[in-house]
Amino acid sequence: MIVVLKPGVTEAAVEEVLVEIKKMGLTPHVLTGTERTVIAVVGDERALQKKPLAALPGVEEALPILSPYKLVSRECKPKDTVLDVGGVKIGGGKVVVMAGPCSVETEERLLSIAQDVKGAGASILRGGAFKPRTSPYAFQGLGEEGLAYLAEAKKKTGLPIITEIMDPRDMPLMMKYADIVQIGARNMQNFRLLSEVGSYSKPVMLKRGLSATIKEFLLSAEYILAAGNQQVILCERGIRTFETMTRNTLDLSAIPVIRRLSHLPIIVDPSHAVGKTDLVAPMAMAAVAAGADGLMIEVHSHPSEAYCDGEQALLPTQFKTLMTQLKRIAQACDRDM
């Protein structure tokens, strides 16, 4: 339910509405706009049948939210959500590029990649310290040591960092080191993790699950918003299909669909979608043309020696060339980059 308050409503009247909502066992989320304040009400809406909120003095109208995802929907918030991550704006149509190695390996290597991606125009550094690996015998990431290397690279380059969380118990570490916490495809429906991350005030990037529909994807994002954290970025990273020529199939149509259904920024990770270096650039360009708010791209200085995902990493020189091409695509589409 969306409760639209009257223009110029007093604080006391807003408080009265909030008290009534809570009394019914529902959760209010106040969304303060430039002209109007609206309250998104979530929970078991059967309680609303007994006491209609529209009857309260401060309320202009109370409208049902028809989509199953409430706080994530454009019905609830028509304007694009724009996050500010250390001065980098994400959302609202500007193209933001996050780049870096799949996993943090050594401090020197991370720093050299960070400097290269920054030089090419990336504005956020990626790197995994906790890696979700299919095999328990594969490299699992450096843990806190890796986070410390990321912090060092951030200090030297000024790039904010994004890194993956796999266990809710690691959230205090993330608060210390990360600017954006990534929830990977394999954990998209780890609901305890979603709620835990949602209870902190820290930007989150949620990746689409390997076999998740867009509806399931948006409902997972709803868990984070429902727990109180509105700073969410969605990431399309390819889904599993019958095709074997690529690692996954990049669902480019998810971009305009999500832009229509949700106010949250949607970015694209072409690297994990295609799984092969030579296919990354065409999909990155197509994503920008299709309206993505940004890209996440894996870059490595020595792909053949990478601990993980070397076969899809771009060399810094390839990344630099791609960034030039992307700027031209963005310009042709009247977008800022």
Dihedral of CA atoms 326, 151, 310, 124 in degrees, nearest 10, equals: -10
- Partner from ligand PEP, Mn ion, none contacting 109, C-beta within 5 to 8 A by type: none
Token digits of residue 149: 């290397």
Name residues whose C-beta falls within 8 Å of residue 199's C-beta, 6 or more positions apart in sequence: 227, 228, 229
Nearer to ligand PEP, 17 or 96 (CB): 96
184 binds ligand PEP (CB under 6 A): yes
Nearer to Mn ion, 255 or 273 (CB): 273
Q: Can you tell me the distance from the alpha carbon of 315 to that of 299, in angstroms, rounded to the nearest whole number? A: 6
Closest CA to 6 of 51, 41, 36, 40: 36
Taking CB atoms, the residue at the shortest distance from Mn ion is: 102
Nearer to ligand PEP, 118 or 237 (CB): 237
Rule CB under 6 A: which of 17-46 touch ligand PEP? Answer: none
Residues in the chain: 337
Nearer to ligand PEP, 128 or 294 (CB): 128
Helices 316-332/277-289 angle, 10° precision = 20
Which span sits near ligand PEP by CB under 6 A: 12-20, 28-36, 146-154, 180-188?
Answer: 180-188
Nearer to ligand PEP, 102 or 181 (CB): 102
Amino acid identity, position 29? H
How many angstroms separate the most distant Cα atoms in the chain?
Answer: 67
Q: Is the dihedral of CA 160, 166, 170, 172 positive or negative?
A: positive
Nearer to ligand PEP, 75 or 164 (CB): 164
- Partner from ligand PEP, Mn ion, none contacting 132, C-beta within 5 to 8 A by type: ligand PEP
Rule CB under 6 A: which of 123-162 touch ligand PEP? Answer: 128, 132
Which span sits near ligand PEP by CB under 6 A: 43-51, 87-95, 178-186, 324-332?
Answer: 178-186
In angstroms, give the least distance from the CB of 191 to ligand PEP.
17
Q: Can you tell me the distance from the alpha carbon of 56 to that of 115, in angstroms, rounded to the nearest whole number? A: 57
User: How many angstroms separate the first and last alpha carbons of the chain?
Assistant: 36
Options 39, 85, 185, 204; binder of ligand PEP; rule CB under 6 A: 185
162 binds Mn ion (CB under 5 A): no
Helices 316-332/107-120 angle, 10° precision = 30
Beta bridge partners of 73: 262
CB atoms within 10 A of CB 152: 14
102 binds Mn ion (CB under 5 A): yes
102 binds ligand PEP (CB under 6 A): yes
273-312 footprint of ligand PEP as x/- string (CB under 6 A)? ----------------------------------------
Closest CA to 174 of 163, 186, 189, 160: 163
List residues near ligand PEP by CB under 6 A. 102, 128, 132, 164, 184-186, 207, 237, 269, 272
* Binding site residues, Mn ion, CB under 5 A: 102, 309
